[in-house]
Amino acid sequence: MKNRPIIGITMGDPVGVGPEIACAALAREEVYALCRPLVLGDLNVLSLAAERMKLSLSFRKAPSPDQGQYVHGQVDVAHLSDLDAGLLIAGAPSKKTGRAMVRYILTAIDWALEKKIHAVTTGPIHKGAMNAAGYHYNGHTELFAERTRTKEYVMMLAGTRLRVVLVTIHMPLCQVPTMITEEKIATVVRITEKSLRERFGIERPRLAVAALNPHAGEEGIFGDEEERVIRPAVRKIRQDGLSVSGPWPADTLFYHAVKGGFDAVVCMYHDQGLIPFKLLHFEDGVNTTLGLPIIRTSVDHGTAYDIAYTGQAQPGSLLAAIRMAAEQARIMHDLG
């Protein structure tokens, strides 16, 4: 039992697909071989989701991680809200559901900081619902960073074939060139390299840095960010002994990364990394936040309001996120 890490799984938005994928994932015996899963959410909503999906699951309240029994077929739930499941409308969030959604996350973060759980895996949330409930963040990542008092962090999208990290995340494309600096690139590379060693067990990670412009600027014809910012950053990082190279033209870089040439690709902006990543890992991709003092993995999809409570949602990304959280926990907490 002690060799299986306790993973706190937040239910996500109560009116999205979060409750369904949580039930579908925990209906699989393999999850209990990997970890001790504890859902932070609403027992009423989870019970309704399981009923509609015709899953043979029972649910029991576990007010704290040490009170879970962690037996397949019986889902342990930290019951943190008491929503009337029968009155919820799929795809129609309210301030009440938004507040509940955030409470699951904040409790999971606090329990991880207190070492009551080994890692957090988050279900999908709706940013608009979070803001409407009074929590003004761009998403999970910023909430985790503030709660853990982390100033420097990196968003990684990880799958079995490709890992990408982002220098800039959610911003208009026209602002990206002004936000790329030598210092920012170096920070992302260093956090990523350290995390690949300490959390993924890669002894000497190989990182590739993508160019911003077509053909890596073509010697300044298509832009000068490569020669003015990106290449000097890579040169300085290499002086510290890190295995990093670039800037590589993005139109060929991902081919070589998928073939095993690199352990991660450092991308300059959101879609540069997420388009190739989601092409390969649309159903099983994982979002993990590097640089935090706790382990956090997440599904790489949204609330999917259009298919919520229809039984169409697939748990592949959540299963992969739970698996990655358990693997990182075993390495970081030396669980064997």
Reported confidence tier of residue 166, pLDDT bands at 50, 70, 90? very high
Parallel, antiparallel, or unpaired: how do β-strands 163-166 and 154-158 relate? antiparallel
State the maximum Cα–Cα separation within the chain, in Å, rounded to a whole number. 64
User: Positive or negative, the Cα torsion across 77, 80, 85, 88?
Assistant: negative
> Average of pLDDT values for 54-78?
96
Q: In this structure, how many other beta carbons lie within 10 angstroms of the beta carbon of residue 254?
A: 24
Model pTM? 0.93
Share of the chain above pLDDT 70, in %: 99
> Average of pLDDT values for 81-97?
93
Reported confidence tier of residue 336, pLDDT bands at 50, 70, 90? low
**Backbone phi, then psi, for 90, in 5-degree steps?**
-55, 130
Q: What is the pLDDT of residues 217-265, one digit of tens each?
A: 778 888 899 999 999 999 999 999 999 999 999 999 999 999 999 999 9
Q: In this structure, how many other beta carbons lie within 10 angstroms of the beta carbon of residue 35?
A: 26
What is the DSSP-derived secondary structure letter of residue 124?
Answer: P
Average pLDDT, the chain: 94
CB of 41 within 8 A of CB of 19? yes
Distance separating alpha carbons of residues 272 and 263, to the nearest angstrom: 17
Q: 2 pLDDT exceeds 90?
A: no
Name 62's Cβ contacts closer than 8 Å, sequence gap at least 6: 38, 68, 69, 76, 77, 78
Q: In this structure, how many other beta carbons lie within 10 angstroms of the beta carbon of residue 165?
A: 23
Reported confidence tier of residue 216, pLDDT bands at 50, 70, 90? confident
Question: What is the structure's pLDDT at 220?
Answer: 80
